[in-house]
Amino acid sequence: MSIAVAERALRKAMRDRSFERVYHFVGDDDFLKESTVRELIDAVVDPATRDFNLVVVRGDEASAEALDTALSTPPMFAERRMVVVRDAQGLRKDARAVLDRYLRHPASDLVVLLVDPAGEKAATLGGDAVVIDFPPLSSERVPAWIAHYAQSVHGVRIEEDAARLLHEAVGTELASLATELDKLASYAHGGVVDAAAVRAVVGVRSGETIADLLDAVADRDAARATALVPVVLSQPKTSAVTIIMALATQMAAVAWGRAARDRGVPAAGIQSGFYTLLKEGRAFPGRAWKDAVAAWARATARWSAPQLEQALGDLLAADVAAKESRVSSEEQLVTSLVLSLCASTGRRAA
């Protein structure tokens, strides 16, 4: 079952209150995973009887006897019970045997949820567990998540340009986006969150985002790029490393596009290739996919292959310097980098 199909099936189950007997949550996005755990618990277990009908255990702490009791106890004053096993791969041998035996014949009045942490190899389970993966959201999906979180958690609507501005300022880390959305919802007092609210609360203005810095470098506009460096660095979750990564993503994509152009690939084929690169990679392009692809396509015609090769070399050197703390300040490092990149016309002409 694909990720999207599994997610839709789970959402439908929570709406209809018609659940599978065993779910297995895996993947690297712990924020999205944990929020879905809470949603599923709320959907399965009546708050009035939660003390009787919800058991949460950790795999490395659960004894075989305790797990067997949790899995065999019938619901009290409710239609069903729920057992959540965190870090299922950490179960000791005897407890794992109890779980395996249960999974072969799961009860109809019990929902079992197994949750594996990010970065760990998912436990291999028998039975008919429904596996739902939570990979990090792609940049393309983040604006929709922003709108969903604002509406479902706070009951407020966020305008499209405000969501885009927030995404550009904060990036793709859902925990950080949720923190800013919590503040924005409070600021809006139940009203609509617009771009003005984002500017006031998050401290970022249109024309001063990381996307604008990327555009300035792509245009080799040194004055604009250097003026934006301190502004962008002052924004939430932004550092020299995140800027260098976004620039590296951009210039690597433009280098690919330039090579495709030199091979005679038409513009439509190059843009299609950019979308494929974004889908296959996990790097944050600093903006919505559509905007990134448009910017890369424009830059492909402006940069030569030798210029791009030198630019990637400059980026690698800056990345090493940032991680080894060989410069006096992040602003100095990024400013020197964008000046080097923007000087490409004179010293790297093909």
For 133-147, the pLDDT digits (tens) are 888 777 788 888 999
Query: What pLDDT, in 10s, does the model give residues 264-314?
Result: 999 999 999 998 888 777 677 888 788 889 999 999 988 999 999 999 999
Report the DSSP pairing between strands 54-58 and 81-86. parallel
In angstroms, the CA 216 to CA 222 distance is 7
Report residue 350's pLDDT band, with 50, 70 and 90 as the boundaries.
very low
Q: Tokens representing 246?
A: 């976004």
pLDDT at 2 over 60: no
* CA angle at 204 for the pair 344 and 249, rounded to the nearest 5°: 35
pLDDT at 8 over 50: yes
164 within 8 A of 290, measured Cβ to Cβ: no
pLDDT at 249 over 90: yes
146 within 8 A of 181, measured Cβ to Cβ: yes
106 within 8 A of 251, measured Cβ to Cβ: no
Count of beta carbons in the 10 Å neighbourhood of residue 246: 24
68 within 8 A of 211, measured Cβ to Cβ: no
Average pLDDT, the chain: 87
Q: What is the pLDDT of residue 281?
A: 73
* Domains of the chain, earliest start first: 3-133 (3.40.50.300), 139-202 (1.10.8.60), 210-347 (1.20.272.10)
Count of beta carbons in the 10 Å neighbourhood of residue 11: 13
pLDDT at 122 over 70: no
In angstroms, the CA 281 to CA 208 distance is 26
User: Within the chain, where are the H helices?
Assistant: 3-16, 30-44, 50-53, 64-72, 93-104, 142-154, 160-170, 174-188, 195-202, 210-218, 222-233, 240-262, 267-280, 289-300, 305-324, 330-342, 344-347
Q: Whole-model pTM?
A: 0.61
